[in-house]
Structure 1
Amino acid sequence: MIVKRLFHLFRLFREQQRRHRTRGELRHLDDRLLADIGLDRETVRREVRKPFWR
């Protein structure tokens, strides 16, 4: 039981790290690259301002 809980906590931690990393990468893309993936600068601003748990 404790192993399952630790595994779950580890997965949550890894997911939060992934969100933080990908949001940081989005922040540094130029407008041309954002347009290629269907995003605009305002959408990126909203996304990177989200707390890491969302």
Structure 2
Amino acid sequence: DERYLVVVQKENGSEERTIRIGINDRQYAQVLEGLQPGERVVIPQDAGSV
């Protein structure tokens, strides 16, 4: 399992949060903890192949 710091979009802005990732094939990642259903992670346009 790996941990990542991400920015989560909120109604009044955004917040940084640590999430734990399980299976990851470089296109999709299984989020094991740190996000609730319906929450959105902000990804910068210049993120490349994150």
- Which TM-score bucket, shorter chain as reference? under 0.3
TM value normalised by structure 1:
0.20
TM value normalised by structure 2:
0.20
Q: Would you tell me which structure has more strand in proportion to its own residues?
A: 2
- Larger Rg, first or second structure (1 or 2): 1
Q: Would you tell me which structure has more helix in proportion to its own residues?
A: 1
